Structure formats: C-alpha cells, structure tokens
Amino acid sequence: MTGKCAICGVKGEEIASELGVCLSCIRAKPEEALALAQEAHAASRKRFGFPESVPRGGEAKCTLCVNQCELREGERSLCGLRVNRNGRLVHLAGTAREAVVSAYYDALPTNCVSAWVCAGCTGAGYPRYSHVERGPELGYKNLAVFYGACSFDCLFCQNWEYRENARSLRPRMTPEQLASLVDARTSCICYFGGDPAPQMAHSIKTSEVALRAREGKILRICYETNGSMHPGALKKAAKLSLESGGCIKFDLKAWDENLHLALTGASNRFTLKNFAMLAELVEERPSPPFLIASTLLVPGYVDASEVEAIARFIAGLNPEIPYALLAFYPTYTMRSLPTTSRAHAKACLEAARRHLRNVRLGNVHLLR
C-alpha cells in the first residue's frame, strides 16, 4: 500500500498512511511532523477512552513514568490507571496491592527476545542460575506476566489488546495470587505487556513474595519494558533481577527524540537515562547477561542511521551488552507498512556490529 507524506508530498510503500508523514520530514520539520503524529495518537487513544494527549494543568500529579500526568478533576491518566478524585491522585490499579494483569505458562525454550543469551534458554549461569549446563531448561517453564497498561502509545504495537484491559481494569490479581502460580517447574518470571512501567510496585511485590516461597531454588526475575518508569522503582526491580539471575530487556524504539515521539507518543529521555543507569550494574554479573536491548526495524522510519546511533550509545556504556534487531510486522494502526526487507535488516545489522560485539537479528521469518 502506498502512503503519502502530508508535508513534502512524497509517496512510497514505506510511508505509513496512518501517520501521514515521512522520516525525512520528522527529522527536518519536527514541529509540523509531530502535529500530524499527534492526530494519529489522539485517534488511537480516543478509541479506548484515554486522554488524547498527556494531561497537563491539573492539581493531581503522577510521577510514576515519563508522562508525568497532571490530572484535572475526574480525568484519567494516559495509562488509564490513575484518576483525579477531589483533587487527589487515586490509583485504580497498579499498586503493591492489586494490578490489571494476567499470566500464562510458557514452556522453555521460549520465543523471548532475550532467549539467545538468557539462562533459561542457554544454560548460562549454571549451576547458580540455570538447571542445566548447556541449552534450554527442557521440562521447565516461564511464568509470562502480561500487564494490561502501558506508558507509551506505539502506533505499531504488537500487543495492542492490552488497551482493552486498561479501559475495563480487568482482569486483576494481587501479588500473592500471581506469585502462587509459581510452581516447582517454574524457573523464571517475565513481566511484559503492555508494559510493567505503570505497575512496577505490583511486579516488585510479586517478585518478593515468589522469591521468599522459592528460597534456595532457582527463580529468575525478568522484565521486558520500554524503560520509562520512575528510576527508583527500576532500581528495586534491577536488584531482584540481578540477584536472581534474570535479565531486563529494554526496547529502544528510536534514538531521535522526535521520531520516538512520532511513533510512540512519548519522549525517550527516561528510557535512555534508565538504560544508562542499569548499564553501571552489568559488570556485577557478566553471565548470564543482566541488561539487553532491542529495536524494532520499522520500515521507512527506524533505519540504519537510527540503529547505529543506538548501538553507539550502548557501546559507550558497555560494548558487551547484547542487542537484538527485530523484523517488523504490520499491526494495530500501522497496517499499511510492509514487513522489514532483507536489505533493511542487513544494513541495520552492519551498522550495529560496527559498535557492539553481540548483535542478533530476530523474527527472520518475516523478512521479505
């Protein structure tokens, strides 16, 4: 499907018709481009009853993520989990008491983005962090925890159904209920979504309860996140992951802040600062890797120069940090784009490998 940029008029299959602006204009004319992108995000959020933009000017303020919502009376936060009632910030969910969350078992090895380096799928860290010396922990499983809220509004969201959970505030579980799902064959918990960012207190409490119940046994705590949460909460989660043999995978969606805003509706400044903070801990446990990064290769937008800038940033922190590049599949509101081409993937791989030692391409079956 051919799209057209509303600013420069250029046409092409790698211009998302839903976004209506090309990469060149996002970079060269960000004010105009972001105004168009905001229209796409407003439509996305309105569809599920969320604010069309980050709430500003209200007296009830939330500081749990990059959005820093300022809610007026009766207004809900961008994630849908907070509301202003009588001038006070009220948490509808996402606390240490209860969260909008569901869970299922995922047999090891999994299709996790971190699978090529994690303890559960490679045996890295045996015998302290893995049940086997080499390869996947066959016969064991991961408790996959899906949080029903997010701090971003990615127009290409692969798990966009979480918005229905955030709108209805269902299903819900306490940390104790969720931790009770960890049985003798569960060797890791992975928090994803949506994203854990708006509900970090719940994930931390769940981890603490589960680790106490499995004291002396292997139970890794892992996160897949956009990294936009409050740094204080991230530090607590990082300690749990580091000590248990788990990993934290950051999705670094773009380097250029304007491109990040266009694609996700949020700044990447919290994400990059938080990633740099965790990079300081990498040497404390080299194996299995504690911190991992990934980037989705969105055709027409996340190009080799974006990937190289991200790779250069990571290498400046620690060149041993694993980095996964993922082929794109059109979904949610960016269905007009094609899947990632082989030429695009090759150029991005080469760019990343100029700076990092451990780079992998995932979702190769999607390449055209």
pLDDT tens sequence across 171-184: 999 999 999 999 99
As a three-state string, the secondary structure of 200-227 is HHHHHHHHHHHHHHCCCCCCEEEEEECC
pLDDT tens sequence across 348-362: 999 999 999 999 999
Helix or strand (DSSP H, E) at 351: helix 342-353
Residue carrying the six token digits 């007026």: 72
Is the same domain home to 124 and 210?
yes
Instruction: Measure the CA–CA gap between 204 and 201, rounded to whole angstroms.
Output: 5
Instruction: Measure the CA–CA gap between 316 and 307, rounded to whole angstroms.
Output: 14
pLDDT tens sequence across 307-329: 999 999 999 999 999 999 999 99
Considering the entire predicted model, what is its pTM? 0.96
Instruction: Measure the CA–CA gap between 137 and 41, rounded to whole angstroms.
Output: 41
Mean pLDDT of 27-33: 97
Number of independent structural domains in the chain = 2
Question: Which has the closest alpha carbon to 80: 48, 41, 39?
Answer: 48
Is the same domain home to 78 and 111?
no
Last residue of a domain, one of 40, 74, 92: 92
Instruction: Give, in order, the Cα–Cα distances in Å from 124 to each of 138, 215, 285, 294.
Output: 14, 20, 11, 20
Neighbours of 126 (CB within 10 A): 18
CATH of the domain at 118: 3.20.20.70
**Residue 5 included in any domain:** no
Residue carrying the six token digits 């600062």: 273
Is the same domain home to 255 and 125?
yes
Is the same domain home to 347 and 220?
yes
**Residue 16 included in any domain:** no
Determine the structural domain holding residue 107 and report its residue range: 99-366
**Residue 10 included in any domain:** no
